[in-house]
Amino acid sequence: MSGAVVERIRLFFIESPIKMARLQGVGNVKGTVKRVLVELTASDGVVGWGEAAPWEVFTGTAEAALAAIDVYLRPVLIGRPVKRVRETMALLDRALVGHAEAKVAIEMALLDIVGKASGLSVADLLGGRVRDTIPLSFSIADPDFAADLERMRAMVPAGNVIYKVKTGVKPHKEDLAHLEAMRSEFGDAIDLRLDYNQALQPFGAIKILRDVDAFAPTFIEQPVPRDNLDAMAAFVAALDTPILADESCFDARDLNEVIRLKAANAISVKLMKAGGLLKAQAIMAIADQAGLPGYGGTLWEGGIGLAAGTQLIAATPGISLGCEFYMPHHVLTEDVLEERVANRNGHVVVPDGPGLGIRVSEASVRANARILAER
C-alpha cells in the first residue's frame, strides 16, 4: 500500500424510500431521501466507500454533491496518494469552496482504504477508541404523534431511553400536550430532549422555552435561526435547561463565535456540516477547551455515513451526549450494507473491522442507484 494512489472513482446517486414522514422546524421530509455514494479504488485494488447526505434546507442538495465530486474534485483525486488524507483534503478545499458533504464522503472513502490496507479501524486511525458503544437517540418527528408513542412503547422496554422531540412545527399547546403524554407514561425512565430546528423567532421565544423547561429536558436544540446568537445567549442565561447549538455551529469559526457570546452549552457535531472526520475532531478540540460537550447529529445518512459517524464518536471523547444514528434501522426501507451497523440495548455498536468496518452490497447499490458516474 505504501505507494498506492487513487485510481478509480465511481459515484452512485441513491434515492431511498422512507417509512414515515418527518416534520422538522426548518423543513419536512416525506417519500424519499437522496444520497450520493462514493467508491474509491486504489491502485493496489483496495476499495473504500463514502457517503454524502445533504439536505436542501440545511446544507445543500445531493445533485450538487454529485456534480461537485464528478466535475471539480475528481481531477484532484485521481493519482493522489491514498495515505496523504489531510493533504488531499486541503487540496479539495482549495479546488472548490463549500460542498462539505461531498468532501466528507471522499475523506470517508480514503480513510476506509487506509484502514483496510493497514488492518486498523477508522477509529484507530483517529487516535483509538474511548468507547465501543454510543447511546442512541430516536427523534419524535412523525406527523402522527400517536404512531411515535406506539413506537416508544416497543422501544423503551428494549433499552431505547433517549428521545428527541421535534418541536415548534405544530402549535405550542400541541407540543406541550405531547411532552405531557410522554412524561406521564414513561416518567423519568426516558431522557427527553427537544429540537426546534430554528422554528422560533427571538421575540416571544423565552416564554415558550420556559413552558417546555418544566418537562426537564436534557437540552433544547437550536430554538431560533442560526444567526440569532444574542438570543441564544439570552436563553443560556435565563434557563435551567442547557441550550445546544446545531445550525449555529457548522465549523470552527462558528464555534468560536458561539463560545465568545456564550450562546450555547453544547454543540451538535455532524459530518455533513463539518466536511470531514478530521475537521470534526478539530471542532471538538475547541469545544473541549470551552467545556462544551458534543452530540452526534445527522441529516439523512444511510449505513455508510453512519458507520463513519460511529468511528468518529468512538475516537472523540468530547462527543459524549449520544447520537441520533437511527435512520437505517427505523426510517429507511432498505440500505446498501450487507449487514446493518448493530443496535443493542439502546446503543449503537461501533463496528470492529478494518476501515469503516462495513461491507457494501454491490447488488443493492446498483439496484437503488438512479445515476452512476464512472470514468
Catalytic residues: 166, 324
> What is the b/e burial string over 175-205, where b = at least 16 CB atoms within 10 angstroms of the residue's CB?
bbebbeebbeebeeebbbbbbbbbbbeeeeb
Q: Is 83:118 a contact under the CB 8 Å cutoff?
A: no
| Residue 12 parent element (H or E) | strand 6-17
Going by C-alpha positions, the residue among 273, 341, 281 that lies closest to residue 312 is 281
Please give the grid coordinates belonging to residue 193: 430532549
Q: Is 277:308 a contact under the CB 8 Å cutoff?
A: yes
Amino acid at 266: A
Cα–chain center distance at 315: 16
Please give the grid coordinates belonging to residue 60: 445543500
Alpha-carbon distance 315 to 312, whole Å?
5
Question: 3-state DSSP call for residue 81?
Answer: strand
Question: 3-state DSSP call for residue 134?
Answer: strand
